[in-house]
Amino acid sequence: MFDSVPTSNRYPSPPYFVEGGDSRDTLKLERTQTTYKKGYKGRMIEVKPQINIWAGTKKFGIGGDGLLSEIELDWLANELSDWLGLPVIKER
Q: Measuring CA to CA, how many Å separate 87 from each of 15, 35, 43, 82, 92?
A: 12, 22, 35, 8, 16
pTM above threshold 0.75: no
Q: How far apart are CA 18 and CA 92, in angstroms?
A: 26
Report pLDDT digits (tens) over 39-80.
888 999 999 999 999 998 899 999 888 889 999 999 999 999
- The whole domain housing 65 covers 2-91
Domain count, the chain: 1
Q: Which residues contact 42 (CB under 8 A, 6 or more apart)?
A: none
Write the DSSP symbol of residue 34.
-
Q: Per residue in 64-74, pLDDT tens?
A: 888 899 999 99
